[in-house]
Amino acid sequence: MDSNSSPSNTIPVVSTLASPLESPPPPALNADADSSSSSARKPITLWPGMYHSPVTDALWEARASIFEELYDPEKDGLPQTEFLTRTPSQSRTTILYRFSSDYSLREQYRDLWNDVRIGKLVEELDALAGFITVKHCSDDDSTTRPLLLVTASVDRIVLKKPISVEVDLKMVGSVIWVGRSSMDIQLEVTQSNEDSVALTANFIFVARDSKTGKASQVNRLCPETELEKFLFEKSEARNKLRRTKRGGDRRELENAEVNRLKTLLAEGRIFSDMPALADRDSILLRDTRLENALICHPQQRNMHGRIFGGFLMHRAFELAFSTAYAFAGLVPCFLEVDHVDFLRPVVIGDFLRMKSCVLYTEVENPEQPLIYVEVVAHVTRPEMRSSEVSNTFYFTFTVRPEAKAIKNGFRIRNVVPATKEEARRVLARMDAEVLKRVDDQESMPQ
């Protein structure tokens, strides 16, 4: 992705905490202060709830100044009928973290190892992707009602190298593909002392009519450069492949799975029937589980009144990290988030339960053993005795090299399922990993 952005598309972020080295700015005393100031009251529909971070603050401030008229809650306009053709450069937006000069900003993002907190970064990738979709879908007409834009899925987030909190960080994104009502947004993270990309992510957003809730058409996309055309075609092929998979012959797949299921369940049955004879280098999948729960409050809402998707991803990451930590006995190192589908919206008042487990491990490479963690988010309604899956997240971790060096004889255990349902989940994840690696090889430049 071409990371060059015009100054108007670059959004610097600042700390939302007062620096201990500086005096806080005085409060605004004039209630009739200039409305162009950052302290001016914005329409409630432009607020990000109370779940703030430096990036969400900066994005919502920019969105308010650009789209204030379009989001006037008193207007009940007609749906958009005239669709524009936009280029990727028109939606391209850059977030600039000045870590090297802003002490307080660094402290909001620093983890235990002086790197950037990945859960917080993942959360803000979603916020930036949402901002970019609004820019692409705007028709610059205050008489039409705005679209409801929601995260449909996260195609993939890959960490290619550690991200230091001491060095300025840049997050760049744009729309790279558009269907009738869906958009693919690609984001890249780089640091000022590196030429190569440190993290990549792809988000799929869908547009709904804000009044009827039905799928709504969005502005067209016209790639201009060779790279933009390549990304468009690659995304188009990926979407076609995903539709083909949905329509595949399930019966043939089930017949092919029978022998694999038997093999996978063999060790689990020994754990259940003859535990004294079970492999001491293995552990049952159910014994790797962790769980947490929360009530979704208004402070975590987005502008549409639903729970901010980035908040859910952040919480899922923290649980996955903890699961990998408790399993390995050493500090994990995040590698990637695989495809995530947002199956149902999470709204204010929902009782959300997140359940995690280690699905399986790969230990063939002792320098980089892999730990595959699944986190399933359930929306639970005790008064209705119901529970529905809203999201399933798949994280891949390894172990930090410096942590591994301090533990002689370190070994990651194998994880074995004990039920057919567990075995099917493991096989589905293994197959997804194989397909992903094939796709990565095919995508590499010749």
CA atoms within 13 A on the CB side of 85: 3
- If asked whether residues 339 and 381 sit together in one domain, one would say yes
73 or 432, greater pLDDT: 432
Contact 147, 209 (CB under 8 A): yes
Summarize pLDDT for 392-435 with one digit per residue, the tens. Answer: 999 999 998 776 655 666 788 999 999 989 999 999 898 888 87
- Distance CA(408)–CA(404), nearest Å, equals 8
- If asked whether residues 164 and 291 sit together in one domain, one would say no
Distances in Å between the Cα of 26 and the Cα atoms of 22, 230, 374 are 12, 51, 47
- If asked whether residues 67 and 120 sit together in one domain, one would say yes
Does any domain span residue 85?
Answer: yes
Taking each helix axis from N to C end, the angle separating 250-273 and 420-443, rounded to the nearest 10 degrees, works out to 120
Summarize pLDDT for 112-164 with one digit per residue, the tens. Answer: 889 999 999 998 999 899 889 988 988 766 667 778 888 888 988 999 999 99
- If asked whether residues 236 and 329 sit together in one domain, one would say no
Distances in Å between the Cα of 314 and the Cα atoms of 118, 132, 309, 375 are 8, 20, 9, 12
Least confident of 10-24, 46-60, 245-259, 369-383: 245-259
- If asked whether residues 202 and 64 sit together in one domain, one would say yes
pLDDT at 73: 43
Summarize pLDDT for 197-256 with one digit per residue, the tens. Answer: 999 999 999 998 877 878 899 999 999 999 999 999 999 888 777 666 654 544 444 555
Domain that holds residue 137: 7-245
Domain boundary among 217, 245, 273: 245
Residue 382 confidence (pLDDT) above 90: no
Domains contained in the chain, number? 2
pLDDT at 10: 85
Residue 1 confidence (pLDDT) above 70: no
Average per-residue pLDDT for the chain: 80
- If asked whether residues 181 and 317 sit together in one domain, one would say no
By CB atoms closer than 10 A (0-12, 13-18, 19+), residue 414 is middle
In percent, how much of the chain has pLDDT > 70? 76
In percent, how much of the chain has pLDDT > 90? 39
412 phi/psi in degrees, rounded to 5? -85, 135
Residue 27 confidence (pLDDT) above 60: no
- If asked whether residues 256 and 241 sit together in one domain, one would say no
- If asked whether residues 150 and 281 sit together in one domain, one would say no
Contact 105, 124 (CB under 8 A): no
- If asked whether residues 217 and 255 sit together in one domain, one would say no
CATH number at residue 118: 3.10.129.10
Does any domain span residue 170?
Answer: yes
- If asked whether residues 341 and 230 sit together in one domain, one would say no
- Distance CA(163)–CA(150), nearest Å, equals 28
- If asked whether residues 239 and 272 sit together in one domain, one would say no
Select from 138, 149, 16, 11 the least CA-distant residue to 83.
138
Contact 11, 57 (CB under 8 A): no
Select from 446, 398, 394, 400 the least CA-distant residue to 425.
394
Does any domain span residue 1?
Answer: no
Q: Is the pTM of this model over 0.85?
A: no
Does any domain span residue 2?
Answer: no
pLDDT at 226: 95
- If asked whether residues 286 and 419 sit together in one domain, one would say yes
